[in-house]
Structure 1
Amino acid sequence: MDTLSSTVQAWAGSAFAAVFRGIKVVRPQRPIHPKGIQLVGTMQRDDGERQPSGIPWLDTAGTNRVEARLSRSLGLPDAFPDILGLAVRFTEQDRLSDMLLATTGPTGIGRFVLRLRRDAAAAVFSSMMPYKSDTGPVLIAARTIESPGKLPVDPAAFRSLLGGESWTLELHHATPLGAWTRFGTLTLKLAKHAEDTAERFDPVLNPLPTAGTYGWTKRLREPSYAVARGRG
């Protein structure tokens, strides 16, 4: 059964890669998330008692400077809703880590269903694919707790509305169907030196500190990321 599951997962990963390859003919630089907004800020993991996730880094208080990118996954025209992506990069002990979140539902099976959104400030972002902890699978999610108002992911409108203010999101972890537990905050501002970034965020090459990766998630993700890197 394990061999059969691995085969199905590998097939699915190859199928996703084939789709990426086709889109890349039209969008050679970025098959998905073609247009984004560059952000910078801090990610703070709370001090004090809280329900542990089983990922030591996540369960330990601390602060990281971050670079982030908010983007429209499908690249639909700005007037339409889209699946929104929030990629966050930071350095921990001289190693890059990338955390990728996308708009989903907040509860139950909805956490595994991508949703079209117009307003980043009203959206729930989650990792969808779980991290491997000492106690089992862990999801990460983010939701806005402070913003100047609506934040449509039309780059020009977003930059105009956010201006010099901050966008603050509350960070949570949970088991796949369990209750969310707050573990910190992510505070973002517009980057001053560029409208977008050429950086590619890759959770396969740059995993979360002290978190493991399930083989099935890697089999699903790696072929598509290899295509995005230009190696597939």
Structure 2
Amino acid sequence: MKRKYWIGLVAVTLSMCLVILGTLSSEEIKKVRIKDATDINSTESQAAQAAITKFRSYNEYPVYVHTEAVENGVLVLYRRFMKENHYDLNVEHVRWTWRGWKWAWGGSMSGGQGAQSDGLFVEYLPYNGRQDSPFPILLGAVTNQNIHKLHISDGAQYEAEPQLIRAHHPRDEQHSWLARVPRHAGKVLTVTALDQSGKVVSVKKLSRNELEPAEEQ
């Protein structure tokens, strides 16, 4: 009887160890896949891009600008139109799953450059209710070549200086950027654009209360 008990105990212990090892292995694989996908020219990045194309059903091939790692996948920045005197930018959250890359959520901004003479365009994409969501996000485009740096603040604890990114495309004069905003950040965000000498070129203020769903206000 005791022998059967010990055999059963060993079998259960081994099964639990295999489950733990399998979980650890899958977590390590996820980390590697996400890291590889941040290289925009890698096979892994192209697989994440394919998940976007499949969901969006685009006829044209977008110009991919940047891929940024988040906890469970990547954020992919890309442009679609590349029109003269026009700005546009899309961001997509693509999750890594055991079945491969899957589109999760996204948003976009676009319009004529004449809408903002200072050449600083900002879009707020609110939290989408998913527990694993990297949103809210500030998405932006810069078409003023005098702007060299951005500073974002809620006037309290949240501050960010997002990278200005330019697509590797001969017709692209736009710099793109994004910044993840903590859900607990202040309700008014200030985006300040600076020139090379640190002089203020433009200031934009956004009220999150006007842009968030009611449950987040």
Interval of TM-score (by shorter of Structure 1 and Structure 2) = 0.3 to 0.5
Which is higher, the Rg of structure 1 or of structure 2? 2
TM-score, normalised with respect to structure 2: 0.32
Q: Which one has a larger percent strand, Structure 1 or Structure 2?
A: 2
User: Relative contact order: is structure 1 or structure 2 higher (C-alpha 8 Å, sep ≥ 6)?
Assistant: 1
